[in-house]
Amino acid sequence: MHERKRILVTGGAGFIGTHLCRRLVSEGNDVLCVDNFFTGTKDNIEGLLSDPRFELMRHDVTFPLFVEIDQIYNLACPASPVHYQHDPVQTTKTSVHGAINMLGLAKRTGARILQASTSEVYGDPEVHPQTESYNGNVNPIGPRSCYDEGKRCAETLFFDYRRQHGMSIKVARIFNTYGPNMHPNDGRVVSNFIVQALQGDPITVYGDGSQTRSFCYVDDLVDGLIRLMESDEAVTGPVNLGNPGEFTIKQLAEQVIAETGTGSEVVYRPLPEDDPLQRCPDISLAKEKLDWSPGIPLADGLKKTIAYFRDLLA
């Protein structure tokens, strides 16, 4: 029989958090969703609000939180450049102060805590594909560093809390993820391309389109997060979670045009500063320790994501 847990999800009204909350509630857990609604929305979790196992709290993780829980998924932080660069100081605070506050809560309650880190900790990688042992190539003073270095510092704090206090921690490095409930104006490449195509606008590709990304459908990613949380105590991570199938940005644009059935043309713009040219996870560790690998092909995931945006923009 499934043990009913009290689970806190910070950033629970955001893109990934919404899907995680639904999955955890469906498995019979009591879920407390905490969000300050900077990028998350109540619309994302509307279907959960009437469920007695689900509770919503407006709260900013840069301030302490006093609740009783068994597990914490710390997802709170704007994750797209357009949002995390809007208020870079607050972005760093969310990663660093948020980690300190959630680790303090976990320490007090004895909860297991998972940090949603990011592939951005690898910066513009000189190793391909990226393994967890690679320390990265990050610009500490660039326009993306509020996010990159904030997440790197959060990882530092998690492992120091484990060493100093013997806490049960998990760290997931999340690679590009897409699916329903993405913010239409988040500036991420999948949502950008789909929204532009559905509105009949030109699709904007930065650089020459040869840079690569690996796209993981959100259901696969959520499965990986839960497997990591429930894994053996000795498995702390960091663990890469993402799809190792690598696509150029130009290929993605062509596939979105094909799937939407629109006649959008592709236009090219200069590449933003510090935008990585290659991004692809080595998921050997996730396969070995979590028996996890993504199963949803890009074409299938795009169909579901496009259907979501069609309804949203109708």
Which residues have a catalytic role annotated?
Answer: 147
Q: What is the largest CA-CA distance in the chain?
A: 58
What pairing do the DSSP bridges indicate for beta strands 212-214 and 246-248? antiparallel
CA 235, CA 223: separation in Å to the nearest integer?
A: 16
For residues 31 and 12, the answer to whether their CB atoms sit within 8 Å is: yes
CA 30, CA 108: separation in Å to the nearest integer?
A: 19
Mapped onto helix, strand or coil, the DSSP state of residue 283 is coil
Output the CA–CA distances (angstroms, integers) from residue 79 to 51, 223, 270, in the order listed: 28, 19, 22
| CA angle, 180 then 184 then 186, to 5° | 105
Write the DSSP string, 124-186.
S-SSSSBPTT---B--TTSTTHHHHHHHHHHHHHHHHHHHHH---EEEEEE--EE-TT--TTS
Give the chain's length: 314
CA 74, CA 62: separation in Å to the nearest integer?
A: 12
CA 70, CA 26: separation in Å to the nearest integer?
A: 17
Please list the residues that pair with 55 across neighbouring strands.
Answer: 32
What is the Cα 144 distance to its own chain's centre? 16
